[in-house]
């Protein structure tokens, strides 16, 4: 099933909006404003604060768990031997840090076509579509 045809999970009383192809930070700000009644300026501050907090925790080496979405985990990579594509000479690719993402079960189910609705307390209730 194409992503644009998946059911949207909304808070009670909220109406569905048009599906979008790619959610950007500006789109997220607009979504927060529409769903909460906050102004765009207030929503921008909320989104910025959340993204800054997630980034700060990852830089500090802590995993970030978002129930219903998944877990972002910072992971180091070891230095390794590579090959320069232009000269075919060996080179050392330095160690670096990357962020791994593990999707939550409810997100995986939604991507597979199960209908997921949030129950009070944050527990997902799955129903086959």
Q: Is the pLDDT of residue 126 over 70?
A: no
Q: Supply the mean pLDDT for the chain.
A: 83
Assign 113 a pLDDT band (cuts: 50, 70, 90): confident
Check residue 17 and give its pLDDT. Answer: 60
Assign 21 a pLDDT band (cuts: 50, 70, 90): confident
Torsion (CA) 25, 29, 34, 38 in degrees, nearest 10: 170
Q: Is the pLDDT of residue 122 over 80?
A: no
Check residue 114 and give its pLDDT. Answer: 74
Check residue 30 and give its pLDDT. Answer: 94
Range 81-86, long-range pairs (CB < 8 A, 24+ positions): none
**44 in Cβ contact with 29 (< 8 Å):** yes
Assign 24 a pLDDT band (cuts: 50, 70, 90): very high
Q: What percent of the chain has pLDDT over 90?
A: 68
- Phi-psi sector, 114: left (phi>0), alpha (psi -120 to 50), beta: beta
């Amino acid at each position: 099933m194409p992503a644009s045809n998946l059911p949207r999970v909304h808070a009670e009383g909220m109406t569905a909006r048009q599906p979008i192809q790619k959610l950007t930070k500006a789109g997220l700000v607009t979504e927060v404003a529409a769903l909460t009644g906050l102004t765009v300026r207030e929503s921008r501050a909320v989104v910025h604060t959340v993204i800054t907090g997630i980034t700060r925790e990852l830089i500090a080496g802590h995993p970030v768990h978002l129930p219903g979405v998944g877990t972002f985990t910072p992971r180091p990579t070891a230095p390794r031997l590579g090959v320069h594509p232009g000269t075919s000479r060996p080179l050392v690719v330095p160690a670096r840090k990357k962020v791994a993402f593990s999707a939550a079960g409810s997100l995986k189910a939604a991507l597979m076509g199960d209908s997921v609705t949030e129950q009070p307390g944050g527990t997902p209730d799955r129903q086959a579509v």
